[in-house]
Amino acid sequence: MKYTFPKNFFWGAATSATQSEGREANDQKGENIWDYSSVKYNYRFYQGVTTEQTSTFYKEYKEDVQRMADLSFNSFRTSISWSRLIPDGVGEVNQEAVRFYRNMLEELNQKGIQPFINLYHFDMPMKLQEKGGFENREVIEAFKKYAETCFELFDDLVAYWFTFNEPMIPAEAGYLHDRHYPYVVDFKRAATVMHHIILAHCEAVKSYRAAYQGKIGIIMDIIPVYPRSQNPADLKAAEMADLFYTRSLNEAILKGAYPAELRPILEQYDQMPEVTSEDLALIKETTIDLLGVNYYKPRRVKAKEYLVDVNGIFSPEWFFDDYIMPGRRMNTSRGIEIYPEAMYDIAKKIQNDYGNIDWFISENGIGIQNEEAFIEEGMVQDDYRIDFVKEHLQWLHKAMAEGSNCLGYHMWTFVDCWSWINAYKNRYGFYRMDLETGEKTVKKSGLWFKTVIENKGFD
């Protein structure tokens, strides 16, 4: 075989609680920001689909775990819903939730599927959002307690824990770019949220290390930034995009300190959040065991076309413009570029800049609109998804042959699921979900992925 992968490589898929569990009468789940905003700001969601109509993992976890086993997965990531486990975020534990998560985790373990459990996937309990969410320092303590509750309740069934999925997103989408609730547009508040999320991550890791022996990590983007040209102005633009959107978070998590260049810029524009010396000491002492990397698209940038209004709202976009590269290959459903070579660049970056830490691809995938158009004889013939995964794996394979410590590949996602804003517009799953009947049917890519797992590679 041309592309072989190690014997213990993690093969599987990822989802998140809010996107896949669905809600049942009497499940005693508390409201989170998505339950709230998908109703209150319904017009912001594709076809107005709310979290009431997400997939049915809560009810059908047994059948779903069997579906994973049918594809020979050896691992699977989902998250615990904070507001399901602790409805108001800080008080009583919901025993229905404990039963569900324990049963689901037992089911995975029995089927030989290693659960990768994430604590936070964009889903702040509404009661805590009312207190300011991660903008409020008190919520760091609430998160720490929630994390400790999860470790106590489920650690006997979980060997791989993750604190956050894409921690930059709640800050960037919720407080700067008006995509996620609370739809604030204010850089300093976004920076405060991100700093507090980093501290919450550190606190959870610290609690875990004090009492448990498994692995703990985090899931982030390491989006490579590609400048339009080697012109110094384009290079500077790329440097700034990288500083704000990648290094700010990644160096805090992976190198134990924010990049030194950040503070003078934030101070110059009066955007520096409150950061204490105790905060910096905690960041410095926190390390992780395993890094998950989500990759969908590259970031291409160029020098600014026009001067910015420095009296306007501060933004990292003051320093660069996005670059629409002529001839780029597009996923037109999602409106994003497809660039598999970035898998290699990401792996190299981890190898060269971040100590070649153990890592895995925790999400990669292609969301396609109107996928029913590809159904033939009852099955979605998604050859485009097979090609997409193949190409990405080929570049990953090359980096691994050159010494990258990549331990696995998880697809986004297992069964088509609801997504933030886009709801069910773009389908990503190895299984198709029929929204009318709730029926789940395997796609051609799912069967292909099974052969890759069983053969430990492909030609």
Binding site for ligand BG6 (CB under 6 A): 16, 19, 165-166, 294, 334, 363, 367, 412, 419-420, 422, 426
Contact 67, 13 (CB under 8 A): no
Among 21, 135, 251, 363, the active-site one is 363
DSSP-based three-state secondary structure for 68: helix
Of 179 and 284, the one with the shorter C-beta distance to ligand BG6 is 179
Of 227 and 365, the one with the shorter C-beta distance to ligand BG6 is 365
Q: Compute how many other C-beta atoms are within 10 angstroms of the C-beta atom of residue 316.
A: 17
**How far is residue 320 from each of residues 303, 357, 381, 456, measured CA to CA in Å?**
5, 30, 40, 42
> From the CB of 144, what's the least distance to ligand BG6, in Å?
23
> From the CB of 419, what's the least distance to ligand BG6, in Å?
3
Of 76, 161, 166, 65, the closest CA to residue 123 belongs to 166
Of 405, 332, 317, 285, the closest CA to residue 8 belongs to 405
Is residue 246 reached through a cis peptide bond, with omega within 30 degrees of 0 on the bond before it? no
Of 192 and 426, the one with the shorter C-beta distance to ligand BG6 is 426
Contact 132, 90 (CB under 8 A): no
Of 56 and 419, the one with the shorter C-beta distance to ligand BG6 is 419
What does the alpha-carbon distance between residue 429 and residue 411 come to, in Å, rounded to a whole number? 8
Query: Which residue's Cβ has the minimum distance to ligand BG6?
Result: 419
Contact 13, 73 (CB under 8 A): yes
Q: Which helix (H) or strand (E) holds 13?
A: strand 10-14
> From the CB of 335, what's the least distance to ligand BG6, in Å?
9
For 326, counting Cβ atoms within 10 Å of its Cβ (0-12 exposed, 13-18 middle, 19+ buried), the class is: exposed
- Could you tell me how many residues make up the chain? 459
> From the CB of 18, what's the least distance to ligand BG6, in Å?
9
Instruction: At 221, list the tokens.
Output: 């983007």
Neighbouring C-alpha atoms within 13 Å toward the C-beta of 435? 17
* Measured CA angle at 418 (ends 415, 423), to 5 deg: 140
Angle between helix 444-455 and 383-401 (nearest 10): 30
Q: Active site includes 166?
A: yes
Of 188 and 410, the one with the shorter C-beta distance to ligand BG6 is 410
Among 135, 166, 251, 371, the active-site one is 166
What b/e string do you get for 379-407 counting C-beta neighbours within 10 Å, with b at 16 or more?
Answer: ebebeebbebbeebbbbbbbbbeeebbbb
Of 18, 20, 29, 154, the closest CA to residue 96 belongs to 29
Of 17 and 113, the one with the shorter C-beta distance to ligand BG6 is 17
What does the alpha-carbon distance between residue 424 and residue 446 come to, in Å, rounded to a whole number? 19
Of 351 and 362, the one with the shorter C-beta distance to ligand BG6 is 362
> From the CB of 420, what's the least distance to ligand BG6, in Å?
6
What does the alpha-carbon distance between residue 86 and residue 82 come to, in Å, rounded to a whole number? 6
> From the CB of 334, what's the least distance to ligand BG6, in Å?
5
Q: In 344-456, which ranges are E strands?
A: 359-363, 368-369, 375-376, 379-380, 406-412, 426-427, 431-433, 440-442
Of 279 and 363, the one with the shorter C-beta distance to ligand BG6 is 363
Of 116 and 412, the one with the shorter C-beta distance to ligand BG6 is 412
Radius of gyration of the CA atoms of the chain, in A:
21
Which residues does the annotation mark as catalytic?
166, 363
